[in-house]
Chain A
Amino acid sequence: MSDKQLSPYLNEFEDIPGTLVFNTFRSRQGFNLNQFCMSLMKQENRDKFKANEAEYLKPWKLTPEQNDAVLKRDYLKLMQNGGNIYFLAKIFSTDGFPYLVAVSTMTGMSQEEYSKMMLGGGRGIKGNRSKSNPSL
């Protein structure tokens, strides 16, 4: 989306720190990746994927960045390359991890730190509203 002129509607979201809104353009970018994720809703496909991940990924025609990020379970990179969390959930569910664990990996915090933050009431809103006005 970098070379694309965003609409005023989408531009507003770009001001929110640490947030990637899954819009129609990102949906286009992530189509193959997200469809690969959907294939993991069948046990036979989960078995095949676990047996040989690189081989299983080939027919899905992911970009090299997407392919690498799947193998590394780099969820932030997957989001940046058109992935959506509800599709990516099929990967971490296949791995036997809940949302909390997978989501924490995107934050730069350890899982323990993230869980502790949630138990303490979650990430505060102050200072997290706007890139252009961090004091908000």
Chain B
Amino acid sequence: MARITAGVTTSHVPAIAATIDLGKQQQPYWAPIFKGFEFSRKWMAEHKPDVAILIYNDHASAFDATIFPTFAIGCADEFESADEGWGRRPVPIVKGNSDFACHIAQSLILNEFDMTVVNRMDVDHGLTVPLNLLFGDLKPEDAWPCEVIPFPINVVQYPPPTGKRCFDLGRALRKAVESYPRDLRVVVFGTGGMSHQLQGTRAGLINREWDTKFLDGLTKDPIGLTKIPHIEYVREAGSEGIELVMWLAMRGALNDDVKEVYRFYHVPCSNTALGHIILENQ
């Protein structure tokens, strides 16, 4: 059967995409950020997942203003990098796993999570930046080392789902994975965050203390984190800090007991407090 071996969270800042695409990783501003992922890339290369289920949010790329699906899953065979206004990113095409994704969609819906099934979509920086950070700065002619199931959650139009709902979705996702008959090693990504605000006169907000508590809670007390209401995310971590509910979907998919094998936190990454954690199932 398929099983989830680990969870990874990371911010998915678009400026990281531009930095990789323009080959500026060694610049003094960026070098410490990429250094922060050296361990993670080694860990991932040794961990060798077959499939990554990548929870992220679409940033008005695949979904325009006509439709905001709360929970969606990409069931296509492959996904191209989106043109977000400066051309498509020069990264490998993302290969999905259609059979596994369709199984997960069915299992989730029958477990009362009403997924939107997406049979064609482009994927934006929300998905490709985490792939870069964990798998390396690959070129279009390369291949990502595992299959990827894109799992977009709406955090753009309010209300997004609650943290608790995302955590429960993660638990249902674990059941869905474990009921798939093929032997697959699965890593679940929760992306976005940490504190940042990209709009209004309060833009630039960073709250290291709150972020640190969230990172601590993710490992040791995720149930406690599920009690955080939307207003607290926005007040304490900024209007875009709400993305952290997606980290709880990842956490729900893991066992209660996890081992934190790595943590990285860096300010600033563009407008954002970059946070990253690796948790292995015990």
Contact = CB atoms under 8 A, between A and B. Distances in A.
B223 interface: no
A99 B202 contact: no
A40 B117 CA distance: 26
Nearest to B242: A21
A13 B199 CA distance: 14
A129 interface: yes
* Chain B, interface residues (CB within 8 Å), range: 35 or more
A90 to B, nearest CB: 4
Contacts of B236: 125, 129
Interface in B38-61: 59-61
Given A89-B84, A103-B271, A118-B268, A16 B203 contact: no
Contacts of B197: 19, 123
Given A84-B156, A89-B59, A107 B201 contact: yes
Interface stretch (A24-32, A51-59, A61-69): A24-32
A19 B199 contact: yes
B64 interface: yes
A124 B158 CA distance: 24
B157 A86 contact: no
B85 A85 contact: no
A85 B199 contact: yes
B83 interface: yes
B61 to A, nearest CB: 7
B187 interface: no
Interface string B192-216: 0001011111111111111000000
Interface centre among B18, B230, B268 (most CB of A within 10 A): B268
Across the A-B interface, the 5 shortest Cβ-Cβ residue pairs: A122-B206, A93-B85, A18-B202, A18-B201, A118-B268
